[in-house]
Amino acid sequence: MSFTLKQSALTVSNSVFDKRSSITCRSLFLPCLNLQNNPKRTLLSLSKPLYISSFQSFNEKSVILCKAYEADKSPSPAAAEAKSEAAKSVKIGIYFATWWALNVVFNIYNKKVLNAYPYPWLTSTLSLACGSLMMLVSWATKIAEPPKINLEFWKALFPVAVAHTIGHVAATVSMSKVAVSFTHIIKSGEPAFSVIVSRFLLGERFPPAVYLSLVPIIGGCGLAALTELNFNMTGFMGAMISNLAFVFRNIFSKKGMKGKSVSGMNYYACLSMLSLLILTPFAIAVEGAHMWAAGWKEAVSEIGPQFIWWVAAQSIFYHLYNQVSYMSLDEISPLTFSVGNTMKRISVIVSSIIIFRTPVQLINALGAAIAILGTFLYSQAKA
């Protein structure tokens, strides 16, 4: 429903519908306009489309007031779509950069705490408790909108929370025994566990490229483990158990949370709260308040008051990096998330080696590189 003119805006007044109008309109649904009586002639052209922005009719004198704008003055659909895609790319980039930075900071402070205070069960509990408290305050103060959930939601979330708790504690136990870099090299083998569990327990089949990508993953992890200077079996098994637990967490999450409209931020908040309830009694049974108190006193006396900041920082940054990662899932595909997770491990491994001055042999670094390359190939093959 358009006609054309050379001016960018037009106001036509005292124009009357007339049978003798000689101007041709593009639309059969609009009457033609007679501009012969207008003292100021307006030239019409077919070079640019004109869109009606407002239309007023006065019955007494049959006067029409028409206001319009040229199409080339408004953004085209293609330009608007390109602008939207660019804004989305920037948003995803910010998510990734924030996710990686928060994860690096968490791992640094977590390792500092575990070196001075080797109680991974309590450390894991404090991380979940801090995140749960932060979200409860956010909901109470309306900073974040509380989720609308019911009993069915918590039932579906329970197996996810069990797997998340096991994976979280196992990873923390691993980092209390070995270098951060070694833990993350072993954890880069998580895709191999995912394929094995999905194939033999769920009956899923994958393209040959997916199976081939497991060769460098398994080989690289094995090479890195064999050449690790500070190898510890507890640390190695902790990372392996964490991989297996997080695979089951992902499976339970996909199966149980279908159709549940909860944002990534609130989903992880609920997951943290339920995991905290599951973990607390086990943490008390394994380590106990007496050991915690004695260890705390010793750590503060050796490190000083800054040890309290270390504990607070590792707890806060643990929640923040996980929260941002779950928020990013609302914006990106699982494949993009997998690639981002692979790149995250590289940043953690490199930064921890530099900060903690972890001794690394050339063959050890080669194994890590092969394992991470295999993880990247896995994500591409599964696309």
Q: What pLDDT sits at residue 66?
A: 56
**pLDDT value at position 29?**
42
Contact 278, 161 (CB under 8 A): yes
Is the residue at 356 inside a domain?
A: yes
- pLDDT tens digits, the chain, 383 residues: what are they? 444 444 444 344 344 334 444 444 444 444 444 444 554 444 444 455 555 555 555 555 555 555 555 555 555 666 777 777 777 777 777 878 888 899 999 999 999 999 999 999 999 999 999 999 999 999 999 998 998 888 889 999 999 999 999 999 999 999 999 999 999 999 988 888 988 888 888 888 889 999 999 999 999 999 999 888 889 999 999 999 999 999 898 888 877 666 567 888 889 999 999 999 999 999 999 999 999 999 999 999 999 999 999 999 999 999 999 888 887 776 776 667 777 777 788 889 999 999 998 888 899 999 999 999 998 888 888 76
Q: Which residues lie below 8 Å from residue 48, measured CB to CB, with a gap of 6+?
A: 4, 5, 6, 70, 71, 72
Determine the 3-state secondary structure of 210 from DSSP: helix
The answer as to whether 38 is a domain residue is no
Domain enclosing residue 115, as ranges: 101-382
- In this structure, is residue 54 part of a structural domain? no
Confidence (pTM): 0.75
Please give the Cα distance from 3 to 68 (Å, whole number). Answer: 10
What is the per-residue pLDDT for 18? Answer: 46
Could you give the number of structural domains in the chain? 1
Instruction: Collapse the DSSP code of 75 into the 3-class scheme (helix H, G, I; strand E, B; otherwise coil) and give the result.
Output: coil
Q: Which of 98, 124, 87 is closest to 280 using CA atoms? A: 124
89 falls within a domain: no
Provide CB contacts within 8 A for 153, sequence distance 6+. Answer: 260, 262, 270
Structural domain contains residue 42: no
Residue 198 lies in a domain: yes
pLDDT in the model for residue 130: 95
Instruction: Please compute Rg for the chain using Cα positions.
Output: 31
The predicted structure's pLDDT at residue 1: 43
Q: Give domain status of residue 283, yes or no.
A: yes
pLDDT value at position 335? 61
Burial class, 124, CB count within 10 angstroms (exposed 0-12 / middle 13-18 / buried 19+): buried
- Confirm whether 55 is domain-assigned: no
Would the CA dihedral through 165, 168, 172, 178 be positive or negative?
positive
